[in-house]
Amino acid sequence: MTETGRTSALEYAPPTQDGLDIALFVPNEVARFGLRTMLDSLRVRHLIEADSFEELVEHLQRTAVNVLIMSCPGHDMAQQEEPLRQLAAMHVKVLFLLESASQHTIVRAASLPVDGFLVQSELTRNALADALRRISDGELSMPSTLARELLSQVRERNGTKAPRPVSLTPREQQVLSLVGDGLSNKQIARRLSISEHGAKRHVANVLAKLNSPNRTLAVVTALKEGLLPAQT
């Protein structure tokens, strides 16, 4: 490991409470430099960088990370769905950086199997730190502006589509609504007056029933299928 805390693919970096282990796959050099600078000021133990998807997969097969930060040009977003599904199958948590929160970008991003989003124009040190913490804890990370636009786009595209027969218990329906509001497991537990362990279990059940590997896809699936109330 170098003095900067970066690690080669041959070194194994298990997640630790002393700092996060992060992988960075951002083709844009300016964006990558800005992220690297922010990460250097945060509690990051190891930082792995890759120049190609093949190199990234090779790193991740040998090195454990808490979160992968990834981006791509907007016109290439549709081509990222299959690589991202490959990463999801490897149980890699992904924070995806969007070029903008435009309607066109949101429509393309809605189906990506990732664990959270940040918009590059809204990227700050605090926003990045909060997103990394949420995702590493298994929570949904999405800026409120992006969430509102996503809700609007999904509703507009689906209109009055009838919900599919997914059997959620009343408690799971409550949890789904709170996940849609962006609440963390701890916040859900407080809202429902249950333990945090219980909240995590309910969230896991909801994700399983919606056949979604993470909260982001669960919310998108629920919206598409009419499973979230209109006021969410």
User: Is there a contact between 43 and 71 (Cβ–Cβ < 8 Å)?
Assistant: no
* Whether residue 175 has pLDDT greater than 60: yes
Domain residue spans of the chain? 20-151, 163-224
- Residue whose C-alpha is closest to residue 112's, from 225, 215, 230: 215
Record: fold of 163-224: Arc Repressor Mutant, subunit A (1.10.10)
For residue 84, the model assigns a pLDDT of 87
For 2-24, what is each residue's pLDDT tens digit? 334 443 333 333 333 467 899 99
The 3-class SS string of 34-50 reads HHHHHHHCCCEEEEEEC
How is 94-112 classified by DSSP, letter by letter? EEEEES---HHHHHHHTT-
For 17-60, what is each residue's pLDDT tens digit? 467 899 999 988 888 999 999 998 887 888 999 989 999 999 99
For residue 193, the model assigns a pLDDT of 94
Q: What type of residue sits at position 100?
A: S
User: Is there a contact between 93 and 66 (Cβ–Cβ < 8 Å)?
Assistant: yes
Record: fold of 20-151: Rossmann fold (3.40.50)
Global confidence as pTM: 0.66
Q: What type of residue sits at position 193?
A: S
Report CA 142 to chain centroid distance, whole Å.
8
* Whether residue 134 has pLDDT greater than 90: no
